[in-house]
Amino acid sequence: MRTRMTIPASPSAAVYLATVHGASPPRGEPTRHAKDSIANSSGPLPPTTLTPWAAALATGCLLGLAASLVQAEEKPLWEVGVGVTSLIFPDYRGSDQSLNHVLPIPYIVYRGEFLKADRDGIRSIFFDNDNIEINLSAGASFPVDSKDNNARAGMPDLKPTVELGPALDAVLWRSAEPGMKLMLRMPVRAAFTVERSPEYIGWLFSPKLNLDIDNVGGMPGWTLGMFVSPLFGDRRFHDYYYSVAPAYATPTRPAFDARAGYGGTEFLAALWKRFATVWVGGFVRYDNLAGAAFVDSPLVRARGNFAGGIAVSWIFAESSERVEVKD
């Protein structure tokens, strides 16, 4: 049995895995499902990567600039831990097959001036003030063995990919009292396959309207994060996942040429809490491809997918140096 392992870089990589594009997480000890349900039907659904090497993706990715002062508190410069996550994801966006995963995850948080690894992912900061941040964002997608996917049987496997590009994050609204923040995140990334001779496979744009609510429902320490993210890709990017070359066409899988444009919308909700030395969290994501430029591809067998997961991490070390962290 071949085993692949995903190692998200922070607890959010387990919760925000849904921000990752393309295929599902790597295969560990999966249980395969081929579902024919409302959630994974090929019929019309209302319009919609947590996606995961994190997972995660995740994803990512929620109006008026803040007029209040930015609240700050002192936290360790770095924290390190280890944990485990259980996930269920479709093979790729639009697939009607899914995989269950139980994976180890590291818990890594770093709050440096230029480099940060936190609930928003790993990124380099080029510009930062109270309401606007420009950074380098990254993402990833996972391999798909075509022999294990009915829609892609006989076609080339999907390689794992990495995505890199700039992102603009803007605070649109912040509550007068610490606890609620609405942000617009706008990453633009170029995608490349991960193999001996990497191939450029196009670009994608995935703006996210993101809302975080601390102490949600009167539960101290619990944070609810939600985002909605329409996705856009060029022809080359959509071609990689959804085109069917004439050589791979069959009576039930006609040739298809994917085009650039709208790629569906993701909706995600995540809930998490940091205890003294334990972090726990979970997420659920709905991905809707109704109206997507490639929705008529024979490789799209579900116009809507659900994904979800839970994670628990134990934090066993932290820096003695403290830094100010904005809310």
Residue 273 lies in a domain: yes
Specify if 46 maps to a domain. Answer: yes
CA gap 228, 185 in Å, rounded = 10
**How remote is the C-alpha of 319 from its chain's centroid?**
28
Q: Provide the number of structural domains found in the chain.
A: 1
Whether residue 310 contacts residue 75, with contact meaning beta carbons closer than 8 Å, is answered with: no
First-to-last alpha carbon distance for the chain, in angstroms, is 45
User: For residue 246, what is the DSSP state?
Assistant: G
212 within some domain? yes
Phi, psi of 181 (to 5 degrees): -150, 130
Quick check: is 268 in a domain? yes
Query: Poorest-confidence range of 8-12, 144-148, 247-251?
Result: 8-12
Three-state SS at 117: strand
Q: What is the pLDDT of residue 72?
A: 59
Whether the Cβ atoms of residue 237 and residue 141 lie closer than 8 Å to each other: no
320: pLDDT strictly greater than 50:
yes
Contact between 11 and 79 under an 8 Å Cβ cutoff? The reply is no
Residue of 243, 240, 24 whose CA lies nearest to 141: 24
In sequence order, the β-bridge partners of residue 185 are 169, 208
Listed range (86-95, 261-270, 289-298) with the worst mean pLDDT: 86-95
Per-residue model confidence as pLDDT tens digits over 11-65: 444 444 334 444 444 444 444 544 443 334 333 333 333 334 334 333 333 222 2
Q: Contacts by 321-325 with C-beta closer than 8 Å and gap 24+? A: 321/76, 321/77, 322/74, 322/75, 322/76, 322/77, 323/74, 323/75, 323/76, 323/77, 323/111, 324/72, 324/73, 324/74, 325/72, 325/73, 325/74, 325/75, 325/111
Confidence of residue 208 (pLDDT cuts 50, 70, 90): very high
More confident residue, 286 or 89: 286
Q: How far apart are CA 17 and CA 310, in angstroms?
A: 11
Amino acid identity at 165: G
Q: Is residue 4, in this structure, part of any structural domain at all? A: no
pLDDT tens-digit profile of 135-145? 888 888 878 99
Beta bridge partners of 163: 139, 191
Contacts of 255 (CB under 8 A, 6+ apart): 244, 245, 246, 248, 249
> In the beta sheet, which residues pair with residue 181?
174, 212
Range of the domain at 68: 11-326
* Domain presence at residue 5: no
Q: Which residues contact 271 (CB under 8 A, 6 or more apart)?
A: 216, 222, 223, 224, 225, 281, 282, 283
Give the CATH number for residue 275.
Answer: 2.40.230
Does any domain span residue 73? yes
Banded pLDDT at 73 (limits 50, 70, 90): confident
